[in-house]
C-alpha cells in the first residue's frame, strides 16, 4: 500500500500565536481562504472538533464535513475529511506554525494520503491536485493572515436590526426569496439566483446607488431555514477586498421576531482615492461603506418587516 506524504510551506509576517489563533477559529476562514464561504461547528469536545465547510470549487459551491484535533501548545492543527472523494481513499493533513521572530512565522501544510486500490494513476491525480491547491492556497492565506495581523483600520464589522411583529419564517422567506427582490426592493435593479442544491445559493445582483448608477456583485449564500442566511461576496465592488455577512431571524415567545443584518468587510486601501477622491482616507472609506451597506440592509429589513407583518 502506497501512502504519500507531502509538505508545502510559506513565511508570513505575523506572530505565530496570531496565525495559530486565526486558523484555529473557523469563523475566520471566509476571511483567510478565498474559496471558503462559511464554516460552522457540528461538535466540539475540548480540542476535538467536527466542522462543516461550505466553499467554492471550480466555480461551484460545495460543502463537506471534517474533523480536527487542536494542539495550541505545539501550534499544530490536524485535520481529515470524514468522507473522501474518489480517487482518494484516505487523506489527512496538519497545519504547523513555527515562530521565526516576533513578527515572522513559518506556516507548514502537510498532507498524507493514499489512492483507492493503490491505483498509480489515481495517486498521480491526487499528487497533482494537492500540489496545485496548496500552491494556490498558501499565497492567498499569507496575504490575508498579514492583513488580519496588521489591520490598520481596514477591517470593519457592524450590524443593523429591526423588531418585527411577525413570524421568523416570513421574514426569512423574504430574504431567502432573492429572485423576487426586483419586485420587492427599490434599490435592486436586476437579480439572478441559482440554487442547484437546496439551501446553497449563488446570487448575482445589480444594486442602484444614490447617484442612479449600478454596481454588480455576486455572492454565495448558505441558508438555514428559518433562522440564518450566511454569505460571502465572490464579485466585489472596487472599494472592498472582502465582504462576508449573515442575516439572522430570532422569534421570541411573544411572536415578535428580531431580524439582523451583519457585515464584515476589508477595505481595498489602494482604491480609496480612485473611488472616493484623492482627499479621502481610511476613515472616509469606513464611513462610506458603513452608510452604503447599512442603508441597503436597513431597507431590506424594513421591507421584510412590512411583508411579515402583513401576513399576520
List pLDDT tens digits, range 174-201: 999 999 999 999 999 999 999 988 999 9
| Out of 50-59, 102-111, 198-207, 218-227, least confident range | 50-59
Q: Which fold has domain 4-150?
A: Alpha-D-Glucose-1,6-Bisphosphate; Chain A, domain 4 (3.30.530)
Question: Per-residue pLDDT averaged across 220-237, rounded?
Answer: 96
pTM of the model: 0.89
User: Which of 225, 216, 272, 278 is CA-nearest to residue 247?
Assistant: 225
Percent of the chain scoring above 70 in pLDDT? 99
Residues 214, 208: contact at Cβ < 8 Å? yes
Cell of 245: 455577512
Show me where the domains of the chain are located: 4-150, 155-310
CATH superfamily of 155-310: START domain (3.30.530.20)
Q: What are phi and psi of 79, to 5 degrees?
A: -145, 155
For residue 226, count other CB atoms closer than 10 A to its CB: 17
> DSSP secondary-structure letter at 246?
E
Q: In the predicted model, is pLDDT for residue 152 greater than 80?
A: no
| 208 vs 260, more confident | 260
Cross-strand partners of 67: 50, 80
How far is residue 179's CA from residue 190's CA, in Å, rounded to a whole number? 9
Question: Whats the size of the chain, residue-wise?
Answer: 312
Question: Per-residue pLDDT averaged across 136-165, rounded?
Answer: 90
**Which pLDDT belongs to residue 63?**
86
Q: In the predicted model, is pLDDT for residue 165 greater than 80?
A: yes
State pLDDT tens for residues 9-60: 999 999 999 999 999 999 999 999 988 999 999 999 999 999 999 988 766 7
How far is residue 175's CA from residue 12's CA, in Å, rounded to a whole number? 39
Residues 129/135/141/143 CA torsion (nearest 10 deg):
-150
Amino acid at each position: 500500500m502506497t501512502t504519500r506524504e507531502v509538505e508545502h510551506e510559506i513565511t508570513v509576517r505575523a506572530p505565530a500565536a496570531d496565525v495559530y489563533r486565526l486558523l484555529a477559529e473557523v469563523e475566520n476562514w471566509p476571511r483567510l481562504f478565498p474559496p471558503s464561504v462559511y464554516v460552522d461547528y457540528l461538535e466540539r469536545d475540548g480540542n476535538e472538533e467536527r466542522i462543516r465547510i461550505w466553499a467554492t470549487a471550480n466555480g461551484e459551491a460545495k460543502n463537506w464535513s471534517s474533523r480536527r484535533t487542536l494542539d495550541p501548545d505545539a501550534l499544530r492543527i490536524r485535520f481529515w475529511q470524514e468522507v473522501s472523494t474518489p480517487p482518494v481513499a484516505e487523506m489527512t493533513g496538519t497545519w504547523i506554525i513555527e515562530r521565526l521572530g516576533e513578527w515572522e512565522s513559518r506556516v507548514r501544510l502537510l498532507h498524507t494520503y493514499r489512492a483507492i486500490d493503490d491505483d498509480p494513476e489515481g495517486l498521480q491525480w491526487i499528487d497533482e491536485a494537492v500540489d496545485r491547491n496548496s500552491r494556490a492556497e498558501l499565497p492567498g492565506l499569507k496575504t490575508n493572515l498579514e492583513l488580519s495581523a496588521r489591520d490598520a483600520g481596514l477591517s470593519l464589522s457592524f450590524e443593523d436590526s429591526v423588531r418585527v411583529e411577525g413570524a421568523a419564517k416570513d421574514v426569512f422567506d423574504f430574504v431567502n426569496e432573492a429572485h423576487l427582490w426586483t419586485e420587492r426592493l427599490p434599490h435592486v435593479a436586476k437579480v439572478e439566483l441559482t440554487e442547484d442544491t437546496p439551501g446553497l445559493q449563488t446570487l448575482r445582483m445589480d444594486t442602484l446607488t444614490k447617484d442612479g448608477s449600478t454596481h454588480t456583485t455576486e455572492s454565495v449564500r448558505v441558508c438555514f431555514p428559518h433562522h440564518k442566511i450566511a454569505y460571502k461576496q465572490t464579485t466585489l465592488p472596487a472599494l472592498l477586498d472582502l465582504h462576508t455577512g449573515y442575516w439572522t431571524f430570532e422569534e421570541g415567545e411573544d411572536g415578535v421576531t428580531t431580524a439582523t443584518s451583519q457585515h464584515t468587510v476589508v477595505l481595498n486601501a489602494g482604491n480609496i482615492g480612485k473611488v472616493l477622491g484623492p482627499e479621502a482616507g481610511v476613515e472616509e472609506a469606513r464611513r462610506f461603506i458603513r452608510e452604503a451597506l447599512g442603508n441597503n440592509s436597513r431597507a431590506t429589513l424594513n421591507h421584510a418587516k412590512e411583508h411579515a407583518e402583513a401576513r399576520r
